[in-house]
Amino acid sequence: MQQRQLGKSGLQVSALGLGCMGLSFAYGPALEHNAAVKLLRAAFDQGVNFFDTAEAYGPYSNETLLGEALAPVRDQVVIATKFGFRNGMPAQGLDSRPDTIRAVVEASLKRLGTDRIELLYQHRVDPQVPVEEVAGAVKQLVQEGKVLHFGMSEAGADAIRRAHAVLPVAALQSEYSLWWREPEEQILPVLEELGIGFVPFSPLGKGFLTGAIDAHTQFAADDFRNVVPRFSEENRTANARLVEVLGAIADGKGATRAQVALAWLLAQKPWIVPIPGTTKPHRLAENNGAASLALSSDDLAAIATALAQIQVVGDRYPAHLQKNVNR
């Protein structure tokens, strides 16, 4: 798989990474351990070297899984993890105090079975702790060699600038996809100006853009999508038009919707590296196929025209989590 540079950081990764959250957390029951190890190794064999986890995924168990699965290829992969929720639990609120960051990094290193984290993100900006202090705490960990690069997630333009002035931000990880394009307004220009890479999460719209989900899909009881307004039955019905249009474009390219959704992101900027997630080997291979799907300027114009005629409905987070984004 082709490699990309995350901005000016010097961090080079495969054009597509693997989002590992769903292997342990958020979208129904965790994948059985051996199957998850196999999937992670298959991703590596297909050229993926960029693996995305977080203290909060599980919590904790996703990092342990990656530590075990990637041990044989540790020196050939880039592991990204995140701190920022109290006790690693989003439901308990935010905690980016410097002492907490240090303690979380020590615990993450143990779970990952490693001596360094290539990319450490603040999962959400914490209004109680100035971003300068957060960047300063990560800077110390960088000086100690425990962390190689600093990232932020769902941070607003001002927070990015302030943090970057203390310690260069290598990458921002925020939601960005064919059905959530807000980062184009303010965020992408700031990243371009500062030379920061962008890692779109939920690049497949949490599965919706692939066409595998419709208004009748029943999610497992603990699936996060049950509380996401955009996934209410009514909104799934309203948003089906986007899936339909994407299907027609994909058919025209001899590709799948998932591949077009990922290739579209890759076509936006050379410093964008999406991290689709899947628990299924055949979908892993399908998604990775997007790295070699080139969209022409005519294709991109056709997608833009089609999107302009569709209004996506429904918030991407429930109100209590919405307040944590874009700070």
Ligand X SMILES: NC(=O)c1ccc[n+]([C@@H]2O[C@H](COP(=O)([O-])OP(=O)(O)OC[C@H]3O[C@@H](n4cnc5c(N)ncnc54)[C@H](OP(=O)(O)O)[C@@H]3O)[C@@H](O)[C@H]2O)c1
Q: Give, as ranges, the residues between 23 and 42 that touch ligand X (CB under 6 A).
A: 27
Distances (CA, A) of 6 to 184, 186, 203: 17, 18, 17
CB of 30 to ligand X, least distance (A): 11
Q: Give, as ranges, the residues between 2 and 21 that touch ligand X (CB under 6 A).
A: 19-21
Residue 280 near ligand X by CB under 6 A: yes
- Using Cβ positions, the residue closest to ligand X within the complex turns out to be 19
Residue 168 near ligand X by CB under 6 A: no
Cα–Cα distance between 215 and 237 in angstroms, integer? 5
CB of 179 to ligand X, least distance (A): 10
Active-site annotation holds for 57: yes
Contacts of 98 by beta carbon, 8 Å cutoff, 6+ apart:
129, 133, 134, 136, 137
Give φ, ψ of 305 to 5 degrees.
-65, -45
Residue 173 near ligand X by CB under 6 A: yes
CB of 152 to ligand X, least distance (A): 9
First to last CA, the chain: 34
176 to 215: interface string for ligand X, x by CB under 6 A: -------------------------xxxxxxx--x-x---
Count of residues interacting with ligand X (CB under 6 A):
29
42 to 71: interface string for ligand X, x by CB under 6 A: ----------x-------------------
Cα–Cα distance between 119 and 101 in angstroms, integer? 14
Contacts of 236 by beta carbon, 8 Å cutoff, 6+ apart:
208, 213, 214, 215, 217
Cα–Cα distance between 316 and 308 in angstroms, integer? 19
Cα–Cα distance between 60 and 56 in angstroms, integer? 6
Query: Toward ligand X, which CB reaches closer, 105 or 140?
Result: 105
Summarize as ranges the residues that interact with ligand X (CB under 6 A): 19-22, 27, 52, 123, 153-154, 173, 201-207, 210, 212, 258, 275-280, 283, 286-287
